[in-house]
């Protein structure tokens, strides 16, 4: 949180974010002290399994928590020099969809079936800028063309069901890109897509970034997608970022036992193994987290101290960190 880290290079800085959900069975710590940064032009990964808190982190940044019982109880979200958690609702409305775009996994759910794609891609432009109808239309065509929708000037009057799954996801991206946002939060944008279509989408986002300098926070569970998209990665487990660092360091020299286990449990083409490493047990109950490391029960490297005390960050010597007693000692 020093002035050094919040330099002009840093676009987004999340500091000790805690988002809890009140349930009948108790408080569920969906995000439990997450800190990370995204620099300008950079792609940063947020990797984890379902329930690790990655989607809740994105929604907290946008202040779009899904249920009334969810609450950001602590933390700071610095975006372009402003703490979004202290911004007024009116200020947030100016940020959402203009400076920060959010795209989600299910393109069909993100698109209205009763509006043409032209209207939907144009909506943020009408909302945020005082564009004339003609200006909106020409910008929509430009953006649809950028996401490689063929014959955009004809197709913008068509409806979502008239497009394939891959095209729909590109239309959702177009909805986000029209306002030239400086940050895109991409929450599992390719998970529902086939591999060839996923590869097309990855290249598309990369092209957009090269031409506009947009930053991307790429949320995924797929380590291959991380390897192909991200500059830096944050590994989340049970609401905490347990390891963070440069993508090559994380994937080639993972330090946290969870990251190591994940790498060894995923089949990868060309590295045929007799048996996959299997992480025993299952993810912990987020309503019943102790004070210790949440990976303790499944960890092959656990020690007594791990059960009762969450380790502080250890520098990885390359600008990243890891929270693990086995590494720090």
Point out which residues bind other proteins (CB under 8 A).
Answer: 49-50, 164-167, 194-200, 202-203, 221-225, 227-228, 247-248, 251-252, 261-263, 265-270, 272-273, 275-279, 282-283, 298
Cβ proximity to other proteins, 76 vs 106, nearer residue: 106
Select 100 or 223, whichever has its Cβ closest to other proteins. Answer: 223
- Residue 162 CB, shortest distance to other proteins, in Å, is 12
Q: Which is nearer to other proteins, 51 or 178 (CB)?
A: 51
Of 227 and 305, nearer to other proteins (C-beta) is 227
**What is the per-residue DSSP string for 221-290?**
S-HHHHHHH-SEEEEEETTEEEEEEEHHHHHHS--SHHHHHHHHHS--TT---SS-----S-PPPTTS--
Name the CA dihedral angle for 103, 104, 105, 111, rounded to a multiple of 10 degrees: -90
In angstroms, the Cα distances linking 12 to 44, 129, 219, 241, 269 are: 11, 23, 15, 16, 35
Q: Is 270 left (phi over 0), alpha (psi -120 to 50) or beta?
A: left
Q: Which is nearer to other proteins, 62 or 197 (CB)?
A: 197
Tell me the closest approach of the beta carbon of residue 278 to other proteins, in angstroms: 4
CB of 140 to other proteins, least distance (A): 22
Comparing C-alpha atoms, which of 147, 219, 227, 148 is closest to residue 189? 219
Q: How far is the CB of 249 from other proteins (least distance, A)?
A: 10
Work out how close the CB of 45 gets to other proteins at its nearest, in angstroms, rounded to a whole number: 11
Whole-number Å distance between alpha carbons of 34 and 59? 13
Least gap, CB of 79 to other proteins (angstroms): 27
Are the beta carbons of 158 and 101 closer than 8 angstroms?
A: no
Q: Which is nearer to other proteins, 19 or 52 (CB)?
A: 52
User: In terms of CB distance, is 280 or 317 closer to other proteins?
Assistant: 280
CB-wise, 88 or 271, nearer to other proteins?
A: 271
Q: What is the rounded CA–CA span in Å between residue 276 and residue 82?
A: 45
Question: What minimum distance in Å lies between the beta carbon of 238 and other proteins?
Answer: 12
Task: Provide the terminal-to-terminal Cα distance of the chain, rounded to the nearest Å.
Answer: 25
CB of 223 to other proteins, least distance (A): 6
- Rounded to whole angstroms, the Cα distance separating 150 from 152 reads 6
Q: What is the DSSP string of 53-68?
A: SHHHHHHHHHT--SST
Closest separation in Å from C-beta 226 to other proteins: 8
What is the residue whose two structure tokens read 């944008």?
A: 189
Cβ neighbours of 319 (radius 10 Å): 11
For the beta sheet containing 26-39, the strands, ordered from the edge strand earlier in sequence to the opposite edge, are 26-39, 10-23, 70-79, 82-83
203/303 with CB nearer other proteins: 203
Query: How many of the other CB atoms lie within 10 Å of CB of 123?
Result: 17
């Amino acid at each position: 949180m020093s002035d050094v880290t919040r330099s002009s290079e840093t676009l987004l800085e999340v500091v000790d974010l805690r988002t809890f959900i009140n349930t009948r069975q108790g408080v569920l710590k969906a995000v439990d002290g997450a800190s990370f940064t995204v620099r300008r032009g950079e792609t940063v990964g947020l990797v984890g399994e379902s329930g690790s808190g990655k989607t809740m982190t994105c929604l907290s940044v946008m202040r779009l928590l899904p249920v009334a019982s969810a609450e950001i109880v602590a933390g700071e979200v610095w975006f372009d020099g402003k703490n979004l958690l202290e911004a007024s609702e009116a200020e947030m409305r100016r940020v959402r969809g203009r400076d920060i775009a959010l795209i989600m996994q299910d393109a069909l759910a993100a698109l209205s079936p009763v509006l043409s794609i032209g209207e939907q891609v144009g909506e943020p432009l009408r909302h945020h800028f005082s564009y004339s109808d003609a200006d909106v239309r020409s910008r929509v065509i430009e953006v649809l063309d950028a996401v490689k929708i063929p014959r955009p000037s004809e197709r913008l009057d068509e409806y979502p069901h008239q497009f394939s799954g891959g095209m729909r996801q590109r239309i959702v991206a177009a909805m986000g890109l029209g306002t030239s946002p400086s940050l895109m939060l991409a929450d599992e944008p390719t998970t529902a897509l086939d591999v060839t279509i996923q590869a097309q989408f990855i290249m598309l986002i990369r092209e957009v970034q090269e031409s506009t300098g947009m930053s991307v926070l790429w949320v995924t569970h797929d380590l291959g997608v991380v390897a192909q998209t991200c500059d830096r990665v944050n590994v989340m487990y049970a609401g905490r970022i347990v390891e963070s660092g440069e993508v090559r360091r994380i994937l080639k020299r993972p330090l946290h036992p969870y990251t190591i286990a994940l790498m060894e449990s995923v089949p990868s083409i060309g590295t045929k193994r007799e048996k996959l490493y299997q992480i025993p047990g299952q993810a912990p109950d987020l309503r019943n987290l102790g004070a210790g490391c949440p990976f303790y029960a499944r960890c092959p490297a656990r020690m007594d101290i791990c059960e009762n005390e969450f380790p502080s960050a250890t520098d990885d010597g390359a600008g990243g960190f890891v929270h693990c007693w086995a590494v720090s000692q």
